[in-house]
Structure 1
């Protein structure tokens, strides 16, 4: 724990009680014994989810295999790789690609985790698909977004005259998943069968994380060595106060037990922000259920929330970058924080493992199973129902203000009326989630962060930002499984021209477009949230008007 800085204030006693409970109840020993009763009376979705504990050691034996595969891909003439995946299959590769500089003679690795037609089209148009390796990454082998993206790019290569388009594909999935049969049928270059006893969001040190890392040229030995050191620090024979993962778990548990159930994540370096996205999924999907939650909030503003239910974790790259003025402000307000040094990208190995351990311990303190996701299925089910008649997705006579259509909770004649009704239902001790079913565009993202800042300042809300459908595989579980104090502003763009999804790989016939799929996912999640009694406002805007609409919302809020 060299360089860590911890401030607890009034939360000191709760933190110490959690540390003492870990020792008294022999929690670390029981964790390593894979004792499911730490979290539940039932072993279901626990005993088959705990092999992440030993993954750093187990995967050291696969390093040479992964490196040899990466070398063979380069020698075959591939210049880049695109990972097709969602959630636990995509966020670790995204983090690796953003945090590590591209190694010499390695591939560029990009992550495609969207069904927005503008984004999919942009991936098809940049670079040469014939020299691109596509990684189809899904634990279950049934993830809808991943499979439709596979069909699209396979068909694209087929129409370009490639005789064996399957040679441009590699699969990562669990043994026995439907993807294995599909991959064999289409003669994929390689199939990597992952350890099935590792859950998606805990899979960073498995094929799901390490294969993309190998293609990027990351030093796997060093990365896994950092993770192995963290694993050894987490053995039950170590003193609890000297175990960083246990300290993190007690920090999260102690704060939660004192009513501090929101954790702001701040980074002194923009390169670390994708670690926040990975950590956001880990915490949200693991703890947001049974009416409980620890809400992770990835922030960019160095401001203190004037609320008592918010704690902070600050990551800094060097001692001289430690934001001392900000930390002094937190101490002055009595707000608890933990500041953690992130000296090199390879430290990711340690920090990721410590947070996996801490999240499992947080589940113990919250008395819930941190390895399942019981509320994710509702949105998937509603999406399937809506896609049976995609031409009837939207009601014919939605309220409209200019080119903006909206789903309010009660009759509204204008965008301002709809916003007034939505904002009037915000919970004082809740949070507001902006769900952006928009392209990943820098100007749009900047305006979304500005909008979030206004909602924070003017309405006292803790604000999160997530892109759809990515967030459905991340914070979506928490949105529907927590105590119900969240409000949700959905902004959904419609493209002028949809992008067809092939009905089958290699077949140009299409009965569904990516735009229709994205709309179905947004409206399905709206329906799932409304069934849970959540406050939701959905705005549907032309893609060309997205930025203009956000500016207009900002202006309306400023005049309130």
Structure 2
């Protein structure tokens, strides 16, 4: 299971402040379990783990295998929760270089014209053997009208129709609401294959629905083990959520003490995108009514050479949450070099995992001495089961913490403000 250690950060909080926050966390968990808090109609991310749909998992897995066998390129077309969760899992569990499956690319997650133009040109280019690329697109949107995604899908759909004619419908999969919305109209007209986003699951909580599971399956990752890792976490925390309650209470007490930033940091580059998913999950959930701790992401040791100075000695407005993988997933060691001209022989025989671990431990010590409260969240190993557990860990943490702020964790009214202004300026 996931281990959460708050002992370093706990030293920064007085007992009475922590106990007050802990009572709020206990009440918040009760609201989640009993569906008595604001936004409780959006708790489907818990329901789907309480009652797993094996038939749907099988259906998603089968299509993922089919596309994996046929495609050269698979495009995930979506924004926010429609792609961040899938990207987090894929980046965590896929090789850095080379793959025996399709190239997985992303579109519809911004309105950068240069990116989209170059993507379209790349897709048009034949393979090295002169044959055209075999392209599949998974467009993900409940409404079908989110501008960033809808624009990209318009261009991609046009390209696929140009390449495949009437056969284009076989290359497009829509993940959308059960009924209503623009994508359902296109599905009826074009015959696209469809997966349903549950009505009671919001985008940032949707990675364990077809939203995330289909792209993850296409990447060759075992979605059943991933999903049931989350199920095991759900069952465990229904019995005993002490770790999460302590973490949520600590975060609340730190929030009340005036801290305004939480740096989600990892020493594993594979987990950078996971940090991006956590950033959206917490940021969209807690940042309301003038409340919340701003979540940001850092990959160490890289970012120790950029924002590390600020973390160590800048304004004391922040905390850190380290995401740690205990078991090494590389056996690479430092060799001994004759002459020692780079003066690194003192590391000869040590693994890069060991060196990286010492870098993390040194950073933890230095930042703590620099008055930064630090929480350590640890995975035993980097695999599907543990990533599934970590996903539910942070989903449940978010619900508990945000309810303890007396805020609805499941809406995002502020996001609509930029959309209204943008649409007005575009003349809609």
- TM-score tier, shorter chain, comes to 0.7 to 0.9
Instruction: Tell me the alpha carbon deviations over residues 373-425 of structure 1, each in whole angstroms, 9 at most, x when there is no partner.
Output: 11111211111122129xxxxxxxxxxxxxxxxxxxxxxxxxxxxxxxxxxxx
Are residues 33 and 214 of structure 1, via their aligned partners in 2, closer, same or farther at CA, if it must alter by over 3 Å?
Answer: same
Match of 1:277 in 2: 276
Match of 2:382 among 337, 341, 344: 344
Are residues 96 and 127 of structure 1, via their aligned partners in 2, closer, same or farther at CA, if it must alter by over 3 Å?
Answer: farther
| Contact 2:93–2:382 under 8 Å retained in 1 | no
Report the CA distance between 1:169 and its aligned residue: 0.6
Q: TM-score by structure 2 length?
A: 0.81
Q: Find the residue that maps to 2:315 and give its secondary structure.
A: coil
- Give me the whole-angstrom Cα distance separating, in 2, the residues matched to 1:65 and 1:48: 26
- Give me the whole-angstrom Cα distance separating, in 1, the residues matched to 2:2 and 2:79: 34
- Give me the whole-angstrom Cα distance separating, in 2, the residues matched to 1:117 and 1:370: 33
Are residues 288 and 30 of structure 1, via their aligned partners in 2, closer, same or farther at CA, if it must alter by over 3 Å?
Answer: closer
Match of 1:200 in 2: 203
Are residues 79 and 53 of structure 1, via their aligned partners in 2, closer, same or farther at CA, if it must alter by over 3 Å?
Answer: same
Are residues 226 and 247 of structure 1, via their aligned partners in 2, closer, same or farther at CA, if it must alter by over 3 Å?
Answer: farther
Match of 2:222 in 1: 219
- Give me the whole-angstrom Cα distance separating, in 2, the residues matched to 1:2 and 1:274: 19
| Contact 1:141–1:177 under 8 Å retained in 2 | no
Are residues 207 and 2 of structure 1, via their aligned partners in 2, closer, same or farther at CA, if it must alter by over 3 Å?
Answer: closer
Report the CA distance between 1:340 and its aligned residue: 1.9
Report the CA distance between 1:341 and its aligned residue: 2.0
Report the CA distance between 1:234 and its aligned residue: 1.9
Match of 1:363 in 2: 402
Whether 2:58 is the aligned partner of 1:97: answer no
Task: Point out which structure has higher relative CO (alpha carbons under 8 A, 6+ apart).
Answer: 2
Match of 1:378 among 404, 412, 417: 417
| Contact 2:90–2:221 under 8 Å retained in 1 | no
Whether 2:426 is the aligned partner of 1:387: answer yes
| Contact 1:234–1:246 under 8 Å retained in 2 | no
Match of 2:296 in 1: 297
Equivalent residues in 2 for 1:451-470, closer than 5 Å? none
- Give me the whole-angstrom Cα distance separating, in 1, the residues matched to 2:280 and 2:401: 14
| Contact 1:54–1:231 under 8 Å retained in 2 | no
Match of 1:151 in 2: 154
Match of 1:69 in 2: 63
Match of 2:118 in 1: 122
- Give me the whole-angstrom Cα distance separating, in 1, the residues matched to 2:2 and 2:272: 22
Structure 1 window deviating more from structure 2 (319-328 vs 248-257): it is 319-328
Report the CA distance between 1:161 and its aligned residue: 5.8
Report the CA distance between 1:207 and its aligned residue: 0.8
Q: Find the residue that maps to 2:366 and give its secondary structure.
A: helix
Match of 1:5 in 2: 5
Instruction: Tell me the alpha carbon deviations over residues 159-184 of structure 1, each in whole angstroms, 9 at most, x when there is no partner.
Output: 34623322211100111132111122
Q: TM-score by structure 1 length?
A: 0.63
Whether 2:231 is the aligned partner of 1:228: answer yes
- Give me the whole-angstrom Cα distance separating, in 2, the residues matched to 1:147 and 1:259: 40
Match of 1:259 in 2: 258
Match of 2:134 in 1: 131
| Contact 1:59–1:206 under 8 Å retained in 2 | no
Are residues 199 and 3 of structure 1, via their aligned partners in 2, closer, same or farther at CA, if it must alter by over 3 Å?
Answer: closer
After superposition, the CA RMSD in angstroms is 2.3
Report the CA distance between 1:201 and its aligned residue: 0.4
Q: Find the residue that maps to 1:223 and give its secondary structure.
A: helix
Q: Find the residue that maps to 1:157 and give its secondary structure.
A: helix
Report the CA distance between 1:105 and its aligned residue: 5.6
Whether 2:34 is the aligned partner of 1:33: answer yes
Are residues 59 and 276 of structure 1, via their aligned partners in 2, closer, same or farther at CA, if it must alter by over 3 Å?
Answer: farther
| Contact 1:267–1:315 under 8 Å retained in 2 | yes
What is the number of residues matched between the two proteins? 373
Instruction: Tell me the alpha carbon deviations over residues 33-76 of structure 1, each in whole angstroms, 9 at most, x when there is no partner.
Output: 2112xxx4xxxxx132111113234244422111111233345x
Instruction: Tell me the alpha carbon deviations over residues 312-365 of structure 1, each in whole angstroms, 9 at most, x when there is no partner.
Output: 101222374441111112322332111122321422211111111111112112
Are residues 280 and 2 of structure 1, via their aligned partners in 2, closer, same or farther at CA, if it must alter by over 3 Å?
Answer: closer
Are residues 312 and 59 of structure 1, via their aligned partners in 2, closer, same or farther at CA, if it must alter by over 3 Å?
Answer: farther
Are residues 296 and 133 of structure 1, via their aligned partners in 2, closer, same or farther at CA, if it must alter by over 3 Å?
Answer: same
Equivalent residues in 2 for 1:8-19, closer than 5 Å? 8-13=10-15, 14-19=17-22
- Give me the whole-angstrom Cα distance separating, in 2, the residues matched to 1:234 and 1:294: 24
Match of 2:349 in 1: none
Match of 1:312 in 2: 320
Report the CA distance between 1:127 and its aligned residue: 4.1
Whether 2:187 is the aligned partner of 1:183: answer yes
Match of 1:170 in 2: 173
Are residues 222 and 201 of structure 1, via their aligned partners in 2, closer, same or farther at CA, if it must alter by over 3 Å?
Answer: same
Q: Find the residue that maps to 1:154 and give its secondary structure.
A: helix
- Give me the whole-angstrom Cα distance separating, in 1, the residues matched to 2:24 and 2:163: 62
Equivalent residues in 2 for 1:357-436, closer than 5 Å? 357-388=396-427
| Contact 1:89–1:139 under 8 Å retained in 2 | no
| Contact 1:80–1:109 under 8 Å retained in 2 | yes
